[in-house]
Structure 1
């Protein structure tokens, strides 16, 4: 069974199957919310504008995940008569569900169009992208909406879907689906990470895509990089995971004691940054043997020197003149600030998550990069340490407290808040 790591990886794989559509006559349309991170990767690869078509599933009242149809912009509606018949949904029940979903749809359309005007589809090829289809109801509505908006050709592109649905889709001129497993059951089964996409992430991806053409035009043919790397540092070789889009800033992650580049928390933040068009380098600043030495784990000077050396390697071997930021957690935050305090560091932004900036207190006054300190509201001791550290910073800085969060941000929604704060800080300062 083919399983995608996340929506971004699925989008990159899907883009490779769509390269023939690259050109000025193509517009990529993501289905909010989950389809937009997939569509973003496709739009980047095709060098095409990114927009959305907002649709809402009409769920059976007693089983909302089962679609009996869908509604879209401009009053378009598609019904699945088979599901309606089997479920026994009455006209009144259908009308109530439709009224509720149209209210949500109209609010979402208003929110998106307040910041993003719709793309003109007249005479264009509309590539409609979702993270997968099951019954296909929402995708059918989206295809009809695209035609109503003037699209000359409609292509539905999804990473995964059931074979019978994909094979019978008259609403699209062409369907591209990477895998059609049987039995199918649900889209989420084919993703290792199928976490929810939030509205503000959709808006941010649309904004990043809108800013992209001017930024990438000098290197638009450069290939994105996704690889594990070995970095020689001060007589040791450390390992890293590098994600590098065609252009844009790069965020280097410095993890805390007892963690590694495989940290699920740092990887969750990295995915959000990647979806916003940023590169990431997650790396281990110590060798496996050094990780066992407590002295090395808390040697902030050593960690900072390794971080600076890794940054030099990144610039010379992969990133060139791209802007670079640091994301540090716990002791890694102290190392990031220590390194950023170097006069010639060239670091454009720093974010600390549950960090210990107090461990670099003597260096904080020399940091010039705009710095964001993120601390959990229930992490009382670290919060006081960050408040004291903030008083030593002379650079533009801000302290953000995530309510009810403890040191590791394990409470529901708290890590998502960290990721959004970091994303906004880096996209503002790494442009």
Structure 2
């Protein structure tokens, strides 16, 4: 479906332009969302920054999300799963504190201690390389609102229809280039989907700085 994250970002930007969706800032989700976000920000002439959230894993099963928390403490809880598993509040609060601290550390490390971007009254485009369950995505959306965003648009190359429907209840608008019914993982829709390192991801925050696959490598 997509050659790589950069090409996916270009197609996403074209769809946003086709729909007349305008924004004031692009917030990409590290790490894989930054190549996509860079392409979108460049095409739309917008500044690029980041939004970070972490999954709150279930007891004994850290890959199963009972919730997610953003770097500012904005939280989403999967209440039905919490009840089903009988997860107590003490566990949830400890997980919230721990993962919020981890998210904040990553946020600060990527941005080098620069002041948080001002989102008050602005239209924010949250961009990732795709959405599967959308647990951490919800926390990212809620963080944007908690920081004063007037409008939040989630924009991704690919997401399953059920996740799009659920996220439409969180954001003002959800834009996805492709919404395949058969969905196992985001990576299955990319020809090239290698892991993005922290060092590479951080370079995307500086426009034109020796980006992989950018003009500097192709010239």
In the superposition, the TM-score normalised over structure 2's length comes to: 0.87
Q: Distance in 2 between matches of 1:13 and 1:55?
A: 25
The Cα shift of 1:15 comes to: 0.8
Residue among 29, 32, 43 paired with 2:27? 29
Preserved contact between residue 116 and residue 206 of structure 1 (Cα < 8 Å): no
Match in the other structure for 1:137: 135
Match in the other structure for 1:354: none
Kindly tell me: are residues 186 and 65 of structure 1, through their superposed partners in 2, closer, same or farther at Cα, counting changes over 3 Å?
Answer: farther
Preserved contact between residue 67 and residue 135 of structure 1 (Cα < 8 Å): no
The Cα shift of 1:46 comes to: 0.4
Kindly tell me: are residues 58 and 193 of structure 1, through their superposed partners in 2, closer, same or farther at Cα, counting changes over 3 Å?
Answer: farther
Match in the other structure for 2:188: 189
Preserved contact between residue 120 and residue 149 of structure 2 (Cα < 8 Å): yes
Match in the other structure for 1:278: 215
Q: Secondary structure at the match of 2:54?
A: strand
Preserved contact between residue 71 and residue 101 of structure 2 (Cα < 8 Å): no
Q: Distance in 2 between matches of 1:50 and 1:149?
A: 16
Kindly tell me: are residues 175 and 45 of structure 1, through their superposed partners in 2, closer, same or farther at Cα, counting changes over 3 Å?
Answer: same
The Cα shift of 1:43 comes to: 0.3
Q: Distance in 1 between matches of 2:148 and 2:130?
A: 25
Q: Distance in 1 between matches of 2:33 and 2:85?
A: 28
Match in the other structure for 1:82: 80
What does the per-residue CA deviation read over 1:233-289, in whole Å, with 9 as the maximum and x for residues that have no partner? xxxxxxxxxxxxxxx98xxxxxxxxxxxxxxxxxxxxxx522xx43544xxxxxxxx
Higher relative contact order, chain-length normalized (CA < 8 Å, sep 6+):
2
Match in the other structure for 2:199: 200
The Cα shift of 1:42 comes to: 0.5
The Cα shift of 1:108 comes to: 0.9
Q: Distance in 1 between matches of 2:136 and 2:165?
A: 16
Larger Rg over CA atoms:
1
Kindly tell me: are residues 109 and 43 of structure 1, through their superposed partners in 2, closer, same or farther at Cα, counting changes over 3 Å?
Answer: same
Q: Distance in 2 between matches of 1:83 and 1:185?
A: 20
Kindly tell me: are residues 203 and 115 of structure 1, through their superposed partners in 2, closer, same or farther at Cα, counting changes over 3 Å?
Answer: farther
Q: Summarize the alignment of residues 376-415 of structure 1 with structure 2, pairs less than 5 Å apart.
A: none
Q: Secondary structure at the match of 1:167?
A: helix
What does the per-residue CA deviation read over 1:270-329, in whole Å, with 9 as the maximum and x for residues that have no partner? xx522xx43544xxxxxxxxxxxxxxxxxxxxxxxxxxxxxxxxxxxxxxxxxx5xxxxx
Kindly tell me: are residues 155 and 197 of structure 1, through their superposed partners in 2, closer, same or farther at Cα, counting changes over 3 Å?
Answer: same
Preserved contact between residue 51 and residue 118 of structure 1 (Cα < 8 Å): no
- In the alignment, does 2:81 pair up with 1:120? no
Match in the other structure for 1:53: 51
Q: Summarize the alignment of residues 14-413 of structure 1 with structure 2, pairs less than 5 Å apart.
A: 14-19=12-17, 20-22=20-22, 26-114=24-112, 116-169=114-167, 170-208=169-207, 273-274=212-213, 277-281=214-218, 324=219
Q: Distance in 1 between matches of 2:21 and 2:184?
A: 31
Kindly tell me: are residues 139 and 45 of structure 1, through their superposed partners in 2, closer, same or farther at Cα, counting changes over 3 Å?
Answer: same
Q: Distance in 2 between matches of 1:194 and 1:165?
A: 21
Preserved contact between residue 159 and residue 179 of structure 2 (Cα < 8 Å): yes
The Cα shift of 1:37 comes to: 1.2
Runs (5+) with no aligned partner, structure 1: 213-247, 250-271, 282-323, 325-431
Q: Would you say how many aligned residue pairs link Structure 1 and Structure 2?
A: 216
The Cα shift of 1:118 comes to: 3.0
Say what the alpha-carbon RMSD is for the aligned residues: 2.2
The Cα shift of 1:115 comes to: 5.0
